[in-house]
Chain A
Amino acid sequence: MTARTRPLMSTQDIVLIALFCAIIVALGLIPPVNIAIVPVPITLQTLGVMLAGAVLGPVRGACACALVVLLTVLGLPVLAGGRGGLGVIPGPTGGYLLGWIPGAYVTGLLVKTFALRVSRRGPQLAAYFAACVAGGLVVVYAIGIPWTAVSTGLGMGKAAVGALYFAVGDTLKAAAAAAVAHNVRRSYPIEPR
């Protein structure tokens, strides 16, 4: 009886979610590129978040990100630089991590409703890019910035300035994610869900 009321998830969906969660973690393990001066490493982890939405679709993409969050809370070093543990969530950057979940959902939804309806290559790539920016930047920052402001007691303005520092790298990553998702779809299409 209960099976009827909950959304159906096949074993393959669960496997895809777990595998993409593993991709997001593995991308965080790749040695980060340091942008000079400021000691904040730029990793490919958020690229994996955008890819999860763009390749798997909204529901499974969001589930893959939720699984990363769950593993973090379970005390596994799954975040970039081998970080993890419960302390990440209430910390200043916790909102960005939680923002991945709706971020991947929005990216997946936009890809599903717009990018896949376009047949020409150029506009399709542009639609992928827009979806990655909307989900991976706009939504993630919309949760991350107020979270930083509350967690640190600084104003929204100052938290937003801190976020701007990452925006350049994240825009580049959105472009990369769009190209990768487009390529993957051409060579191994799966139905986004």
Chain B
Amino acid sequence: MRMSLYVPGTSPLHRAGARWKLAALLLCGVAVFLTTSVAVLGPAAAVALALLLSVRAPREQLVRQLRGPLLVLAAVVAVAALTESVHAALVVGLRLVVLLLSALSVTLTTRTSELQDVLELVLRPLDRAGLVNASAVALAVSLALRFIPEVFRQFQEIREAQAARGLRGSPLALVVPLVIRVLRSAEDIAAAIDARCYPPARTGDLDRHERLSGKAPG
């Protein structure tokens, strides 16, 4: 399975820095809610569409990402047109189109690793203030990326095992053994990570030093 939505390419959007793209996206998200003028939102939607097309993503991926949201969008516009006014429907529709297309353009042109760098940049001040532990977040993200295919593989394994015994159960009968397997493996994985001293201890991280030198209980 493909784990990222990134599409390789050399378009201007590909070459732009991830943090600038995200900052622009954030501003754009605020801006579309500040105006109700179709004269502004219409061209904005056209620009967003042009941006998305400049990415040159494969059509099937665009269809897959846009089909669901566009159905919701169509329903919303229809309800707004019927119950309020055509103008309100247009504003709502264009707003969501701008958001949807510009965000998708950024998603398609930015590597996950680049986004992770931006995440680290955002977390750094919070980490310094003691609000979050940036290295724990980074560890959790990379573990999750590693485990998603693994958990899915285990799910299919359990399904095959049950089918071999003639059980053609609901997905629910699969969830219990899946969760138990996962909980059981967590202990081993945690021991393996601790054995490798990851995440690396930071200066001033007393708790970890104590634990590594065996002074702390547990």
B103, B176, B184, B208: the one contacting A183 at CB < 8 Å is B176
Q: Roughly how many angstroms separate A23 CA and B104 CA in the complex, as a whole number? A: 25
| A3 near B107: Cβ-Cβ < 8 Å | no
Overall SS of chain B's interface:
helix
**Residue in B closest to A190 when the chains form the complex, CB atoms:** B183
| A19 near B147: Cβ-Cβ < 8 Å | yes
| A15 near B186: Cβ-Cβ < 8 Å | yes
A163 to chain B, nearest CB (A): 13
Does B25 count as interface, using CB distance less than 8 angstroms? yes
Does A171 count as interface, using CB distance less than 8 angstroms? no
B84 to chain A, nearest CB (A): 8
Q: Roughly how many angstroms separate A190 CA and B186 CA in the complex, as a whole number? A: 11
Q: Roughly how many angstroms separate A190 CA and B103 CA in the complex, as a whole number? A: 40
Q: A residues 72-122 with Cβ under 8 Å of B?
A: 73-78, 81-88, 90-93
Q: B residues 82-122 with Cβ under 8 Å of A?
A: 83, 88, 91-92, 95-96, 99-104, 106-108, 110, 112, 115-116, 119
Q: Roughly how many angstroms separate A80 CA and B136 CA in the complex, as a whole number? A: 26
A14, A76, A162, A184: the one contacting B183 at CB < 8 Å is A184
Does B27 count as interface, using CB distance less than 8 angstroms? no
Does B72 count as interface, using CB distance less than 8 angstroms? yes
Q: Roughly how many angstroms separate A76 CA and B88 CA in the complex, as a whole number? A: 33
| A8 near B207: Cβ-Cβ < 8 Å | yes
| B176 near A180: Cβ-Cβ < 8 Å | yes
Does B185 count as interface, using CB distance less than 8 angstroms? yes
Q: A18-B143, A180-B179 are in contact. Are A85 and B148 (CB under 8 A)?
A: no
Q: Roughly how many angstroms separate A18 CA and B96 CA in the complex, as a whole number? A: 32
| Interface residue range, chain B | 35 or more
| A12 near B144: Cβ-Cβ < 8 Å | no
| A92 near B148: Cβ-Cβ < 8 Å | no
> What per-residue 1/0 map shows which CB atoms of B43-81 lie under 8 Å from chain A?
000000000000000000000110011011101100110
A6, A70, A73, A76: the one contacting B4 at CB < 8 Å is A76
Q: A70-B141, A76-B5 are in contact. Are A82 and B64 (CB under 8 A)?
A: yes
Q: Which residues of B contact A78 (CB under 8 A)?
A: 148
| B80 near A3: Cβ-Cβ < 8 Å | no
> What per-residue 1/0 map shows which CB atoms of A1-36 lie under 8 Å from chain B?
111111011111011111111110111011000000
| A4 near B207: Cβ-Cβ < 8 Å | yes
Does A151 count as interface, using CB distance less than 8 angstroms? yes
**Residue in B closest to A41 when the chains form the complex, CB atoms:** B68
Q: A22-B151, A87-B104, A188-B180 are in contact. Are A15 and B190 (CB under 8 A)?
A: yes
| A67 near B148: Cβ-Cβ < 8 Å | no
| A91 near B100: Cβ-Cβ < 8 Å | yes
Query: Could you show 29 A-B contacts with beta carbons less than 8 Å apart?
Result: A2-B205, A3-B205, A4-B206, A6-B132, A12-B187, A19-B143, A22-B144, A27-B175, A39-B71, A44-B171, A51-B175, A51-B179, A55-B179, A70-B119, A75-B106, A75-B110, A77-B3, A81-B64, A84-B107, A85-B5, A85-B65, A87-B102, A90-B29, A90-B103, A91-B72, A154-B92, A158-B79, A179-B172, A184-B179
Shortest beta-carbon contacts, A-B, top 8: A87-B103, A85-B107, A18-B143, A12-B190, A3-B207, A22-B147, A86-B103, A75-B107
